Structure 1
Amino acid sequence: MSTPDPNPTARVPQLTFRAIVLSMILAVILAAANAYLGLFAGLTIATAIPAAVVSMGVLRLLGGGTILENNIVQTGASAGSSIAAGVIFTIPALIILGYWDDFRYSWVLAIAGLGGLLGVLFSVPLRRTMIVEDPLPFPEGKAAAEVLKAGENPGPGLKLLGFSAVLGGAFKLAAASGLRMLPDTAAGAGFFGKYLGYLGTNLSPALLGVGYIVGLNIGIVVLSGSILSWHIAIPIYHAFFLDSDPALAASIAGAGAEDAAFAIWSAKVRYLGVGAMLVGGVWTLFSLRNSLVSGIRSGIAAARKGAGHIVAETERDLPMKWMLIALVAFVVPLAFLYQAIVGQWLVSIPMTIIMIVAGFLFVSVSAYLAGLVGSSNNPVSGITIATILFASVVLMLMLGRDSPIGAVAAIMIGAVVCCAAAVGGDNLQDLKAGYIVGATPWKQQLMLMIGAFSCALIMAPVLNLLAQAYGIGAPTAEHPNPLSAPQATLMASVAKGMFGGHLPWDMIAIGGGVGAAIIAFDGWLKSRSSSFRVPVLAAAIGIYLPLELMVPIFLGGLLAWLVERRHGVVGTRDESLRDRIHRPGTLFAAGLITGEALMGIAIAIPIVASGRADVLALPEGWQFGKWVGLAVLALVAWLLYRSGTRRTLGETEPGPM
């Protein structure tokens, strides 16, 4: 009688040469595309699912690939969006502040590469906590796993995925960044006396898919946060406090209601979300303290047991000893980088310590947020603002508020933390997918390191190319219509505001109070064993981001609840039953995300090649209004619901279970 193999996964090809090469190629291409889109539109596209789809196609042409090989490819390639986000949200601020004239290769490589590597290291102890012991949804990780499963077993599931991907891609192509047949949003606003009202929704099918995957609870929480900002805070500020800010009042004088609402949100109300994130981030880390320590201890214990102890292949993280060695190796160059900026070891060493502490703190927060609402909706820019604020306070004590280098030093700390937070959240998303399909964690963690550093190698040339072609930041005579880089502009204004400028500290403080109140309310719900919870960071996301992004997420969550009601399982605590019921709908939602992401990247190619944002736009007469866009989105929502109500992937008619 043979002994069962304790590690059957070890014999399945994963970290193969062809998977590593394909992953690196995809990571570099997707990073370049996301860098342009982020500077142009202020957002990046999640690349794990598109990379998984491409991998399945390419490896099939090369003789076929295993599900774990495809998982490795999407893991490394997903660094394309996370590294791009970490870089474009922060480093262009150094151009905007006038510190750099161009993007210096060695500095960008050090910030992006080392920041990304630290993000992987900081996130390793979180895997057991957030994925195994107290699992979070990780919607895009689940979606990626569904894509990988459908690719391994073609059939009804792959057809459903393909159909919804085409649907999501077609909508993206028809939208404002492509053919411009349909608007990106449907919004309306108006003045009712001194009251300013705004209501709108993004028309993205991908956001519907994200909402379906995260569920109704999170959908309600994020929408409630946005309602607090847009239906309470903005109208109150406009009616009673606008006169106290003459500059803001002058800037919106004569503006339409929608423009006025966005101006007040951008200048004032979004900082409520920053305050809530600061309080929520500290609380989240505090509440996870036991689990984090447990994760670190389990890693140390596993390392001490040695080779004689058999550990399941699906539970092997990077060895703790090598992680500590790598941590020192990555941090030392950053200390010298900071020394080159400030020229004082008494300042550069505290900068390095701030970076390490803030890095681990906000990688934890980023991973938690990614687990709730996905990497695409993870407000890394809000996390970076919190880092810059914290770093600036410490630096002011050492350098003084009038220091000419203070804002630059704060941006440098924020840039490393931003890259680490973006990669850390993405890493946990990939590890969730790997956990579902039975992958080896340390191989995924190593692959993400390779992918992150590969992306860092090309970021400076890409940024210099874009800066020379279009300009970045404020318009100039040479570049009258530059890439606006909205997040980097915000970072520059925050850092500059701390060193000689002004920030709405009153709004940040109020936001902190709101965050504390939400924490207390959630604690009360927990004490009553309520199935409905109010995670403070999810609420902070809603406060910080535009209302239009939260509405489709809520609607997607509502569709998921309707599917559960149709099957008669509302309120069930059986997660396996819930996952089985939702698999067809989750697969359809994954296709919507995949199709929109792939099309968004495809659209970027002719835009970059031609230098024209409207290169694909159809002539006048082909544009349709927001009502048509809403009707099309409603059709997509109905199809998503119909998919979710199937008993199995092969059925065409829904029925109660």
Structure 2
Amino acid sequence: MNQPAPRSGAPQLTFRAVVLAIVLAVVLSAANAYLGLFAGMTIATAIPAAVVSMGVLRLLGGGTILENNIVQTGASAGSSIAAGVIFTIPALIIMGYWPDFKYWWVVGIAGLGGLLGVLFSVPLRRTMIVEDPLPFPEGKAAAEVLKAGDNPGPGLKILGVSAFSGALVKLMAASGLRIIPDTAAGAGFFGKYLGFMGTNLSPALLGVGYIVGLNIGIVVLSGSIISWHIAIPLYHAFYQSVDPVLAQEIANAGAEDAAWAIWGAKIRYLGVGAMLIGGVWTLFSLRKSLLSGIKSGIAAARKGGNEIVAETERDLPMKWMLIALAVFVLPLLLLYQAIVGNWMVSIPMAIIMVVAGFLFVSVSGYLAGLVGSSNNPVSGITIATILFAAAVLLLLMGASGTTPVGIAGAPLGAVAAIMIGAVVCCAAAVGGDNLQDLKAGYLVGATPWKQQLMLGIGAFSCALIMAPVLNLLVQAYGIGAPTAEHPNPLGAPQATLMASVARGLFGGELPWGIIGIGAIIGAVIIAFDEWLKKTGKNFRVPVLAAAIGIYLPLELMVPIFLGGLLAYVVEKRHGVLGAEESVRDRIHRPGTLFAAGLITGEALMGIFIAIPIVASGKADVLSLGLEFPGAEWLGLAVLALVAWLLYRTSMKPQPVAGETEGGPR
């Protein structure tokens, strides 16, 4: 790859760019926190942030391409910190260790974990971006947006219209005005078999599906079909006697309630088993890239001399990185000591965290380089971390690891394993995003150390607001298992999984037989995907995507599939099926912006709705009292209208930022 021409003297790390980056990072991290707890997914935010930046800086007199690059770099921390936090830290609430999210603990875990992710990714830049470059699809797309940013107005209009649409539908739904329900579902008994079908009416999930595409949409829906159309009917027909308590509950319930009861008590653990085997497979399949990342880090450290390098090749100095690493690890060591109260345990915890952090930042960066940050299976990486940490802690702590702590008696060892996993998860998420941003910066001639500094600022800024946002969401909607107060809580699927795994290894009760069956299903999926790979098929079946589908409710996967199907139809109508990725990206850019707006608008409205709910203590404080029979059909019509708007926007490409008449540059 040719070295890009440096843009000498062009302003980059300006005051206005830093402030705008922080504002966007905070807003987008809050939106992604809601989306992640709701649907188990987050989306990359660099491209929407770049479009907003170009519009705002134009109003302020015009901005340079490098200023806009700094803004999108800092703003991308919003998705990575949100992912690192919501995949792990809510497990401490679910296990009953915390009654709510402790502000300074969340800041310490997320902020320091994010900063470590920046540091660990610095020595990987040269090998993954310069010497042996990986594709980094989202980084390349962001660079194209930045290069063709002369006319950001249409892109801002698309984002504005779609964000308003997503927010309005969320306001109309069950947690707001209660004009339409959150879902449309039906169930019935067919002899001994139990059938269930339903869809969530969320525009955000439709947008997620459009962004991830039909391949992933088919995979996640297929995973849910395994659970809801195969496993649940089979359990209801033949295995009720295995659990007399559950059998009694089912006997007194309607079809839909029975399906949910079986899923919650038994079948979702198939997804746990599939995720566990998927996390281990991820590490095994990337063993070569792991070694490459370690070697590149050591080589970069050895190169740290005084030679003069170009502005476009200046990373954060290795000497200062090592000093910062020591400074950041010390408070985490003290945090671990505060939990376990034993230096012989807390010191190994800190060592595990540092080693696992660097290893998994390498894995995360490699995966982000291949498939993009949105498809980066950080949760699988975190599962592997927690399993390894729990195994080591079990040896170190012995019986003391099962000591109950917290308000509901969580095992001490399980809490310690989650704390390690949380820091590593934040580091891995930030590290992958950092390399994605550095790829964009490399293509536009930016200075690496300025981007690395900006991402660190953005990550820590996001960490400062995560606890209040999470507390607001938990008080308004609930989290994890349904309760009388919150019958439809935010599922927090990854955090629930982390809590189950950690607690199960320290004496908790888990349905290990069902988890084992799930692991077998995961192994079959892996074998099938390897066969597809060897035969050169374009369609792939990533095991972690399938496992998420198995683990999550069917109703969440249906709109994701429909969004992916819509993206496929757009490609087919434009005649770009099978075309180069850059061509498809250009065609999809208006639709991608519309989808990102749907997600952001709905998520932010969900947070705003939570404020009056928490303030009043009433879940129906905004209700207009207009509930009526057949509201599900109105909800389906509203979702169909949103899908039509998304399709129409996608079929009429406009000269939005990142698109020119001659195609991508």
The TM-score, its normalising length taken from structure 1, stands at 0.81
* Partner SS, residue 286 of structure 1: helix
For residue 550 of structure 1, the aligned residue among 510, 533, 557 is 557
For residue 458 of structure 2, the aligned residue among 451, 454, 462 is 451
Gaps of 5+ in 1: 651-656
Look up the match of 1:203.
201
Structure 1 residue 625 corresponds to structure 2 residue 631? yes
Query: 1:416-495, aligned counterparts within 5 Å?
Result: 416-424=423-431, 426-427=433-434, 440-459=447-466, 486-487=491-492, 491-492=498-499, 494-495=501-502
Query: 1:13-412, aligned counterparts within 5 Å?
Result: 13-28=11-26, 55=53, 58-80=56-78, 82-84=80-82, 86-87=84-85, 90-91=88-89, 93-94=91-92, 99=97, 106-124=104-122, 129=128, 133-135=133-135, 137-138=137-138, 152-295=150-293, 297-298=295-296, 304=303, 313=312, 318=316, 322-360=320-358, 363=361, 384=382, 387-401=385-399, 403-404=402-403, 405-412=412-419
Structure 1 residue 593 corresponds to structure 2 residue 599? yes
Change (3 A) 1:77 1:586: closer
Cα drift, residue 209 of structure 1: 2.7
For residue 506 of structure 2, the aligned residue among 490, 499, 520 is 499
| Partner amino acid, structure 1, of 2:552 | L
| Partner amino acid, structure 2, of 1:633 | L
| Partner amino acid, structure 2, of 1:417 | V
Cα drift, residue 47 of structure 1: 6.2
Which stretch shows the higher mean deviation, 31-40 or 546-555? Answer: 31-40
The TM-score, its normalising length taken from structure 2, stands at 0.80
Indicate if the aligned counterparts of 2:47 and 2:72 stay in contact, CA closer than 8 A: yes
- Number of aligned residue pairs: 642
Cα drift, residue 475 of structure 1: 11
Distance in 2 (CA, whole Å) between partners of 1:150 and 1:7 is 17
Cα drift, residue 502 of structure 1: 0.8
* Partner SS, residue 174 of structure 2: coil
Distance in 2 (CA, whole Å) between partners of 1:241 and 1:109 is 46
Residues 111-151 of structure 1: per-residue CA shift (max 9 Å, x gap): 2222222233445566665998443655xx78877876786
Indicate if the aligned counterparts of 1:187 and 1:201 stay in contact, CA closer than 8 A: yes
Distance in 1 (CA, whole Å) between partners of 2:596 and 2:482 is 39
Distance in 1 (CA, whole Å) between partners of 2:251 and 2:320 is 59
Gaps of 5+ in 2: 404-411, 657-662
Look up the match of 1:641.
647
| Partner amino acid, structure 1, of 2:61 | G
Distance in 2 (CA, whole Å) between partners of 1:142 and 1:629 is 38
| Partner amino acid, structure 1, of 2:238 | F
Cα drift, residue 152 of structure 1: 4.5
Distance in 2 (CA, whole Å) between partners of 1:7 and 1:242 is 68
Change (3 A) 1:116 1:129: same
| Partner amino acid, structure 2, of 1:632 | V
Residues 256-288 of structure 1: per-residue CA shift (max 9 Å, x gap): 333333333333333322322232223223333
Look up the match of 1:654.
none
Indicate if the aligned counterparts of 1:197 and 1:235 stay in contact, CA closer than 8 A: yes
Cα drift, residue 412 of structure 1: 2.2
Look up the match of 1:526.
533
| Partner amino acid, structure 1, of 2:170 | K
Distance in 1 (CA, whole Å) between partners of 2:606 and 2:141 is 18
Cα drift, residue 324 of structure 1: 4.4
* Partner SS, residue 573 of structure 2: helix
Change (3 A) 1:568 1:464: closer
Indicate if the aligned counterparts of 1:178 and 1:614 stay in contact, CA closer than 8 A: yes
* Partner SS, residue 191 of structure 1: strand
Distance in 1 (CA, whole Å) between partners of 2:168 and 2:436 is 26
> What is the root-mean-square deviation of aligned Cα atoms in Å?
4.4
Change (3 A) 1:216 1:466: closer
Cα drift, residue 224 of structure 1: 1.9
Distance in 2 (CA, whole Å) between partners of 1:627 and 1:497 is 42
| Identity across the alignment (%) | 78
Indicate if the aligned counterparts of 1:177 and 1:614 stay in contact, CA closer than 8 A: yes
Which stretch shows the higher mean deviation, 298-307 or 156-165? Answer: 298-307
Indicate if the aligned counterparts of 1:210 and 1:373 stay in contact, CA closer than 8 A: no
Change (3 A) 1:155 1:197: same
Distance in 2 (CA, whole Å) between partners of 1:407 and 1:374 is 31
* Partner SS, residue 195 of structure 2: strand
Change (3 A) 1:492 1:177: same
For residue 578 of structure 1, the aligned residue among 558, 566, 584 is 584
* Partner SS, residue 185 of structure 2: strand
Cα drift, residue 525 of structure 1: 1.8
Change (3 A) 1:437 1:297: same
Change (3 A) 1:152 1:67: farther
Cα drift, residue 246 of structure 1: 2.9
* Partner SS, residue 584 of structure 2: helix
Distance in 2 (CA, whole Å) between partners of 1:61 and 1:486 is 41
Indicate if the aligned counterparts of 1:150 and 1:157 stay in contact, CA closer than 8 A: no
* Partner SS, residue 215 of structure 1: helix
| Partner amino acid, structure 2, of 1:219 | G
Change (3 A) 1:36 1:629: closer
* Partner SS, residue 196 of structure 2: strand
Indicate if the aligned counterparts of 1:83 and 1:419 stay in contact, CA closer than 8 A: yes
Distance in 2 (CA, whole Å) between partners of 1:226 and 1:244 is 23
Distance in 1 (CA, whole Å) between partners of 2:373 and 2:54 is 22
* Partner SS, residue 199 of structure 1: strand
| Partner amino acid, structure 2, of 1:135 | P
Indicate if the aligned counterparts of 2:48 and 2:593 stay in contact, CA closer than 8 A: no
Change (3 A) 1:395 1:149: same
* Partner SS, residue 196 of structure 1: strand
Indicate if the aligned counterparts of 1:196 and 1:234 stay in contact, CA closer than 8 A: yes
Cα drift, residue 22 of structure 1: 3.5
| Partner amino acid, structure 2, of 1:445 | Q
* Partner SS, residue 252 of structure 2: coil
Which stretch shows the higher mean deviation, 234-243 or 467-476? Answer: 467-476
Distance in 1 (CA, whole Å) between partners of 2:365 and 2:188 is 38
